[in-house]
Amino acid sequence: MSMDEFIGNQKAIHIFENLSLYFHGLGDPIRQQIIALLIDKESMNVTEITELIPMSRPNVSHHLKVLRQAGLLKVQKKGTQMFYSLEFDEVIALMKQLVHFVEEECQC
């Protein structure tokens, strides 16, 4: 392995490490459904999400927590309710880095 290949591999590993939390957040079908719902809405509260996903409120809340911890959702409190919306700027930028890296480096 040449030094250039080693450096390229390290860069790929670094990008994947930065994306791993996002991949974990997106890795569950229920969380994917929640993301799909929020793509169409500016924001939703847990009650609105629970009405559209056939799960208990505690289970939906758990998935929302995982998505928040993954940095994919932001939360805004309005009165006594919490409203969830997508926070995709960083993950999109990292995905673009990954695609660019693969396009430049991959000899597929």
In a domain, 89, yes or no: yes
Query: What is the tens place of the pLDDT at every residue in 17-67?
Result: 999 999 999 999 999 999 999 999 989 999 999 999 999 999 999 999 999
8 Å CB contact between 61 and 46: yes
In a domain, 80, yes or no: yes
Given a cut of 60, is residue 6 above it in pLDDT?
no
pTM value is 0.82
What are 108's two structure tokens? 């597929």
Q: How many CA atoms within 13 Å lie on the side-chain side of 104?
A: 12
CA pair distance 46, 66, nearest whole angstrom = 14
In a domain, 77, yes or no: yes
Instruction: Note down the domain range covering 18.
Output: 3-100
CA pair distance 92, 79, nearest whole angstrom = 31
Q: What is the CATH number of the domain that holds 45?
A: 1.10.10.10
User: Is residue 78 classed as helix, strand or coil in its secondary structure?
Assistant: strand
Query: What is the tens place of the pLDDT at every residue in 74-101?
Result: 999 999 999 999 999 999 999 999 898 8
In a domain, 51, yes or no: yes
What domain count does the chain have?
Answer: 1
Greater model confidence, 82 or 1 = 82
In a domain, 87, yes or no: yes
**Helix 3-26 vs helix 57-69: crossing angle, to nearest 10:** 160
